[in-house]
Structure 1
Amino acid sequence: MKIVVIGGTGLIGSKLVSKLTEHGHEAIAASPNSGVNTLTGEGLAEVLDGAQVVVDVSNSPSFEADAVMEFFRTSTGNLLAAEKAAGVGHHVALSVVGTDRLPDSGYFRAKVAQEKLIRESGVPFSIVHATQFFEFVKSIAQEATRGDTVRLSHALVQPMAADDVASAVGRTAVGAPLNGTVDIAGPEQFGLDELVRKAFALRGDPREVVVDASAPYFGAVLEERTLVPAGDALVFETRFEDWLAAQPVPAN
């Protein structure tokens, strides 16, 4: 099966291409570096020729509200139009658990707009809603740091490893279109502050984590269960502590 992975050189995309290739599929990593630009449409017709499935795991280079909205609307619109022209039978998109519950976040509004375009496109589709990745915990902490203090909400998160995300997206890509969504998550729930505190303890980071219910997350204030699946979810087994222990310790 020829599967084109948009954003195929990124964190999830590179893992996904490897997994699909290992299972005997022709997985094509498409990105501006390979001559495929979804914002301009460059290279789309050529790379989609003969493709049965397109997986979009690309992300906006900017999280500023107008920029991220422009990225997802333009990129997704161009991609879906090219898929129709090429006769692609399955569009798979990676999105976020809680997308429709955070209207105050420009990023999440853009993801809602992306999903709407997919649902209304007429192309058979599957949308994978993932919880936050373990790999982004460091960035979340850094964004919330002021001096030596990290202010975070105690809202629940159920994070997962990027490798598990890639596995879930790959399984979805080789299956029949859902014409709907599937939620995926890790095995444990933490308060957001608790998750970062655990990471700091295991890494010997001296920063103090303070609970602040009004601390924003991608520009929005969280309710307790905004970021965890509201119903059934496909739960993966990798635990945060085990994943973190397997990561190389950064040099001082």
Structure 2
Amino acid sequence: MIKESSVPSSIVRATQFFEFFKGIADASRDGESVRLAPVLIQPMAADDVATAVAQVVVGAPVSGIVEVGGPQQFRLNDFVLQGLRAHHDRRVVVADPAAGYFGVEVDERTLVPGKDALLGETNFETWLLRSTAVAFR
């Protein structure tokens, strides 16, 4: 409805947030393991999403979609594994091409933004260091 409206607007579409790695693992649990498709993902910090939304809000409407993503691409299974290990979660992560993503079939590039996406600045390693410092105080 927004795209078809004559009202000037901008829609921000963000990739998955770093903050959701554990939720992805929990939703993909298969017994004692986590099954994830080894597709590309380009997650970003929630703070970077907020910054991107603020930039779009103060700019002129684009009458379309602005994609935002993180500065790095990972395989989904590797991204979740890194997050789990940093938080001392020892679940086994299995790369399973048939696993999908929250029950939806995905291909190699479903979870990454387009080539013209705005990219956040925070890399996953920096975010993990900050998140583990907070988690283990």
Q: What percentage of aligned pairs have identical amino acids?
A: 52
Matches within 5 A, 1:132-171: 132-171=16-55
Q: Does 1:246 align with 2:130?
A: yes
Distance in 1, Cα, partners of 2:82 & 2:68: 22
User: Which of these residues, 185, 200, 209, is aligned with residue 84 of structure 2?
Assistant: 200
Q: Is the 8 A contact 2:36 2:76 kept in 1?
A: yes
Matches within 5 A, 1:1-252: 117-247=1-131, 248-249=134-135
Q: How big is the shift at 1:149? A: 0.3
Q: Is the 8 A contact 2:70 2:122 kept in 1?
A: yes
Distance in 2, Cα, partners of 1:174 & 1:200: 36
TM-score (norm 2): 0.92
- Letter of the structure 1 residue corresponding to residue 31 of structure 2: G
Distance in 2, Cα, partners of 1:172 & 1:146: 40
- Letter of the structure 2 residue corresponding to residue 136 of structure 1: F
Q: Quick one: structure 1 residues 146 and 219, their matched pair in 2 at CA, closer, same or farther if it must change by over 3 Å?
A: closer
Please say which of residues 139-148 and 187-196 is displaced more in the overlay. 139-148
Q: How big is the shift at 1:121? A: 2.1
Cα deviation code 1:44-86 (max 9, x no counterpart): xxxxxxxxxxxxxxxxxxxxxxxxxxxxxxxxxxxxxxxxxxx
- Letter of the structure 1 residue corresponding to residue 81 of structure 2: R
Q: Is the 8 A contact 2:28 2:102 kept in 1?
A: no
Q: Quick one: structure 1 residues 195 and 162, their matched pair in 2 at CA, closer, same or farther if it must change by over 3 Å?
A: same
Runs of 4+ in 1 over 6 A off after TM superposition: none
In structure 1, runs of 5+ residues without a counterpart are 1-116
SS of the counterpart of 2:2?
helix
Distance in 1, Cα, partners of 2:53 & 2:29: 32
Q: RMSD across aligned C-alpha pairs, in angstroms?
A: 1.4
Q: How many residues align?
A: 135
Highest CA radius of gyration, 1 or 2? Answer: 1
- Letter of the structure 2 residue corresponding to residue 228 of structure 1: V
In structure 2, runs of 5+ residues without a counterpart are none
